[in-house]
Structure 1
């Protein structure tokens, strides 16, 4: 029998807000301009779930040169313009969160500023007051387990009693390394094949999640 669930940890981008589709478009254009031709699909496979610092290091390694300190400025301007114009919550996720009867939180490689701005734009921020944890809070971002362990500790939950909802292989790897149960959301930019792994339950629609978590975690099924 699986341990009882004490905490549900959500990733932010691609799980709560449908932002990854926007980000990979902008990243593809930016990195191609820098000299490395990558499609949005390439971006999803290589970078979704990683930190911006990791992306910078990989670009510099491929190009064989350092990027200027302001290399992200064009991305930020284009990305936030798309956010304001197009960003929505992931379909069904608000209903799922409102049904949870146990604690939940967010653990994202994005900054606190990015999480706050994105969740506010998607109409979800009020559900996560005091429940936002960023890679900025720990020494190592995902795919290291530090962030998930930090979030669990702050929420007072043991790792073996946590479940993690992620949409990237790197986030799932981090959760498994933390000793937590993993659920891979395949409704975003990464495929089921990319998200499959030991002990990971895959699901395609967010409204499936309450039934997967069971009666102990939710008030009712969608």
Structure 2
């Protein structure tokens, strides 16, 4: 863990991204996009997908594909992605390592479910499927927000500001947990502190300097967001 969360305001709301933060779905999504790119005429490496797509809304990804391959191919890509992703999720999806312990730790520290929400680029249908598959949906039910509800997706701040308004919390008292640079940029634009999670696909160097703090072990999240101003901590 590197960095601290400045204690200018106590944390009242922890805003979680979904893919790569709660559910370990990013490797599935990346592999699926790589396979579709090879099939439909846009060869992409895993690094290309990470740079272009991860953290972006479905609409933004579709726009990039349409610009490269045309609207019809973009529709085909989107439809095939949903089908292939759904099958892979049912076969192999797991919660992010340490997230259950992190949620339990937040509750013990006095930040219970009423102080959590999800703000994700994914659709509500997708999140019901993925979160339900790993047993986390009920822990967030009624407090899940999608980029489909706002005009602009990440890195614009719209989604995080929408979530804060709906939850009745000032942005200065929110902390966003994100694994993508686009998500961290959105949190910053919203005036929120951010924790960059680099325990999955995203390299820590992509988040260092962008996020308020970076961690590689999700189990450290409760101590990080509930601590008052402390000295820098380092470690894995």
Tell me the TM-score normalized by structure 1: 0.92
Unaligned runs of 5+ in 1: 217-222
CA RMSD after TM alignment? 1.5
Alignment partner, residue 18 of structure 2: 12
The structure-2 alpha-carbon separation of the partners of 1:154 and 1:42, relative to structure 1 and needing over 3 Å to count, comes to: same
Residue 212 of structure 1 and its aligned partner are, at CA, apart by 1.0
| 1:35 partnered with 2:57 | no
Instruction: Establish whether residue 114 from structure 1 lines up as the match of residue 120 from structure 2.
Output: no
Q: CA–CA distance in 2 between the matches of 1:9 and 1:113?
A: 19
* 2:173 counterpart of 1:161: yes
Pairs aligned (count): 215
Distance in 2, Cα, partners of 1:208 & 1:114:
27
1:66 aligned to 2:71?
Answer: yes
Q: CA deviation at 1:199?
A: 5.2
- 1:76-113 CA-partner distances (Å, limit 9, x unpaired): 22111110010010011012112322201000010011
Q: Deviations along 1:157-202, whole A, 9 cap, x unmatched?
A: 1000000000000000000000000110001211111122345211
Q: Looking at both structures, which has the greater relative contact order when contacts are Cα pairs under 8 Å and sequence separation is at least 6?
A: 2
Query: In the alignment, which of 172, 181, 191 is matched to residue 203 of structure 2?
Result: 191
Gaps of 5+ in 2: 1-6, 229-236
Tell me how far 1:34 sits from its aligned partner.
1.5
SS of residue matched to 2:77: coil
> Could you tell me the TM-score, scaled by structure 2's length?
0.87
Superposition pairs of residues 202-213 of structure 1, within 5 angstroms: 202-213=214-225
Alignment of 1:13-162 (within 5 A): 13-63=19-69, 65-68=70-73, 69-100=75-106, 101-102=110-111, 103-162=115-174
